Structure 1
Amino acid sequence: MATGMKLPMTVTLQKPMAMAAPSSSFSLHRAINFRTVSCLNATSNAKVPLPPINPKDPFLSKLASVASTSPETLLNRPANSESPPYLDIFDAPRLMAAPAQVERSISYNEHRSRRPPPDLPSLLLHGRIVYIGMPLVPAVTELVIAQIMYLQWMDPKEPMYLYINSTGTTRDDGEVVAMESEGFAIYDALMQSKNEIHTVNVGAAVGHACLLLAAGTKGRRYSMPHAKAMIQQPSVPSYGLMPASDVIIRAKEVLTNRDTLVKLLAKHTENSVETVANVMKGGPYYMDSVKAKEFGVIDKILWRGQEKIMADMASPEDWDKGAGIKVQDEF
């Protein structure tokens, strides 16, 4: 009877064990794994200090949430060496935030910027520099006038610096790319500004760009040694299939703009209107930095010390005498 009593008991005990075997063995396996990991962590924590961790790191935050909800995802890793570890738990992997959202922490470089660097025109504007490096097309005019207004609003007492390398309202081959009003618009914005305007010719100042160069504050108009300035009559744009009456109207407008340009150049260069008009009648009038200073377009050439070098230079006779050369016959 004792043996018979044991048999049903054994069967009774084995039945639930057989039904619960997968979950129980998995629970047991998980418990063993957790104990092993805990022991390893305790041992490693005691010997090796952990590196600093950024609590706002999205990758670590995701791993922590997965470890708390389903730790088996982290423990039972697939043996696949081709994919980085733990990267497959992300539906849409994003290991780093956008540059503007990256927070500085002790694990990152302390000098890393929190936002993307600004563009170059913004950096120049921070130094109160407005750079015109293109023909005066509407997009350039819009930006330059906005920068002038912004600098005046920021500080009406500090000077602004206008660097010019532009062919005006035409291209270098003389083709018209913009209306003459584009150059007059920037000129009017400069004249309305309360700031002191420092103009610098860094390449070429042609047509209306030359007017902007000469419109700077007296005594604050500069030119690089090899920069060129050029004044010319406004060009007549191509009219295509425009009616004859409209062509005449446009031609009269070009002549009006020419007279206005002549008067403004005469005013800022301190020449007579007749002098400027006669110079422009002869075609494009090119001026190097020395001629531009003589004509009154600029006030100073930025030689960077060349003037002193040329002044200290000895004459050819002194060079010959110092070198021991004697002139036998004089021509």
Structure 2
Amino acid sequence: MSSFLHAAMAYAIPPSIPSQSVRRPKTMKLSCCRAFAAKNAAKLPIPPINPKDPFLSKLASVAASSPETILNRPVNPDTPPYLDLFDSPKLMATPAQVERSVSYNEHRPKSPPPDLPSLLLHGRIVYIGMPLVPAVTELVVAELMYLQWMDPKQPIYLYINSTGTTRDDGETVGMETEGFAIYDALMQLQNEVHTVAVGAAVGQACLLLSAGTKGHRFMMPHAKAMIQQPRVPSSGLMPASDVLIRAKEAITNRDTLVELLAKHTGNSVETVANVMRRPFYMDANRAKEFGVIDKILWRGQEKVMAEVAAPEEWDKNAGIKVMDGF
């Protein structure tokens, strides 16, 4: 700023003539100033001006058009200098603002990047990676409805890594209706639903895994599935009558879960109810045998399994004879 003002002063007063030794009329001073400025404009150094700074740009244009405006300034200690040149004064841009306006915004995307669920949704993937709490249920059901609306013929891929309505330590974090809500949404879809278990599928999450389209229910080699009875939420200081009501509701949810698992796994209700008396863990092979999934996702597995002989072929090659009735 100081160098700029010195340059403006140089337009008006020649450096070789002391300003106090010459007394001339005011109009004569102005004409001399303008003539001298026009004659020596090419010789005077002009400081660099940031084109992004509105204050310096305005000041430079005023100095070039009418230098007397810069020279004959009223002195007012209560007002910052030169702000009266603006019709609507604005503060000078800070160095950080100038830096962002010059370099950073050139490489910054015009719109913010999408979040991870939106990126997965673009690939028709719905990922359940948390226990089934109301916020998760809301998002999953909305995504399923949206994907069906976008294309009712393309399949939807449901990836599951969830402990259901409980945490891994067994503490209840959501009502059983959270899992039933997602299950009902799956049953209403026109699309095929390909379910994939990655990590864990416990309780209600195991039900969602088995509810996929038959032939398209998958499981990673080291994933785990587990079915268990619904848990009664913490009763705290509830009256005994309220605790009994909650217990009856838990039994109702258990019976519903048993019936749905029996329907999708192909087992009888008695078989499912019997194994659910205690937590029933299944690795990928056991889950396939129980009917929770159809295939194990293992790179190259199809080729390896195709080369494995059937159990009867193993017995025949080993010389074992199978007797009727055994």
What TM-score comes out, normalization by structure 2 length? 0.70
CA deviations on 1:175-233 (whole Å, 9 max, x unpaired) are: 00000000000111111111110100011000000000000001110011100000000
* 1:94 corresponds to 2:97: yes
Q: 2:283 pairs with 276, 285, 288, which one? A: 288
Aligned pair in 2 of structure 1 residues 40, 67: CA closer, same or farther (>3 Å)? closer
- The 8 Å contact of residues 53 and 93 in structure 2, kept in 1 or not, is answered as no
Once the two structures are TM-superposed, the CA of residue 63 in structure 1 deviates from its matched residue by 6.1
Q: Which residue of 2 aligns with 1:323?
A: none
Tell me, in whole angstroms, the C-alpha distance in 2 between the residues paired with 1:213 and 1:304.
Answer: 20
Q: Distance in 2 between matches of 1:216 and 1:63?
A: 67
Q: Distance in 2 between matches of 1:241 and 1:128?
A: 45
* Corresponding residue number in structure 1 for 2:112: 116
Match of 1:59 in 2: 52
* 1:144 aligns to 2:151 (yes or no): no
Say yes or no: does 1:175 pair with 2:168: no
Question: Corresponding residue for 1:245?
Answer: 241
Structure 2: gaps of 5 or more residues: 1-21, 68-90, 309-326
Alignment correspondent of 2:160: 164
Alignment of 1:22-61 (within 5 A): 31=38, 34-36=41-43, 59=52
Q: Is residue 196 of structure 1 aligned with residue 199 of structure 2?
A: no
> Structure 1 residues 89, 239: CA separation in 2 closer, same or farther (over 3 Å shift)?
same
Q: Deviations over 1:67-93 (max 9, x none)?
A: 434558xxxxxxxxxxxxxxx942696
Aligned to 1:154: 150
Percent pairwise identity? 67
SS at match of 1:226: coil
**CA shift for structure 1 position 23:** 6.2
Q: How many residues align?
A: 259
Please name the residue that 1:16 is paired with: 24
Alignment match, 1:131: 127
The residue correspondences of 1:215-294 to structure 2 (distance < 5 A) are: 215-281=211-277, 283-294=278-289
Q: 1:211 aligns with which of 207, 211, 215?
A: 207
Cα 1:94–1:263 change in 2 (3 A) is same
Alpha-carbon deviation of 1:237? 1.2
Contact 2:54-2:92 within 8 A present in 1 as well? no
Q: Say if 2:152 and 2:190, in contact at 8 Å, map to a contact too.
A: yes
Taking structure 1 as the reference length, the TM-score comes to 0.69
Residue 300 of structure 1: which of 287, 295, 304 is its match? 295
User: For the residues of structure 1 that align with 2:218 and 2:40, how far apart are their CA atoms?
Assistant: 78
The equivalent of 2:76 in structure 1 is: none
Q: In structure 2, do the counterparts of structure 1 residues 121 and 24 end up closer, same or farther at CA, with 3 Å as the change threshold? A: farther
- The one-letter amino acid of 1:294's match is E
| C-alpha distance in 2 between matches for 1:193 and 1:22 | 89
In 2, Cα distance between equivalents of 1:163 and 1:200 = 5
State the Cα deviation string for residues 96-147 of structure 1 (Å, max 9, x = none). Answer: 46xxxx6xxxxx56xx743121111110001110000000011111111111
Cα deviation 1:229-279 (Å, max 9, x = unaligned): 000000111110111111111110000000000000000001110110000
User: 1-side partners of 2:97 and 2:290: how far apart?
Assistant: 63
Correspondence for 1:68 among 61, 68, 72: 61
**Preserved contact between residue 221 and residue 284 of structure 2 (Cα < 8 Å):** yes
Question: What is the DSSP-based 3-state SS (H/G/I as helix, E as strand, rest coil) of the residue aligned with 1:35?
Answer: coil
Give 1:35 shift. Answer: 2.6
Change (3 A) 1:141 1:66: farther
| Aligned residue type for 2:229 | Q
The one-letter amino acid of 2:61's match is: S
What CA RMSD, in Å, does the superposition of the two structures yield over aligned residues?
Answer: 3.4
Alpha-carbon distance in structure 1 between the residues aligned to 2:33 and 2:259: 95
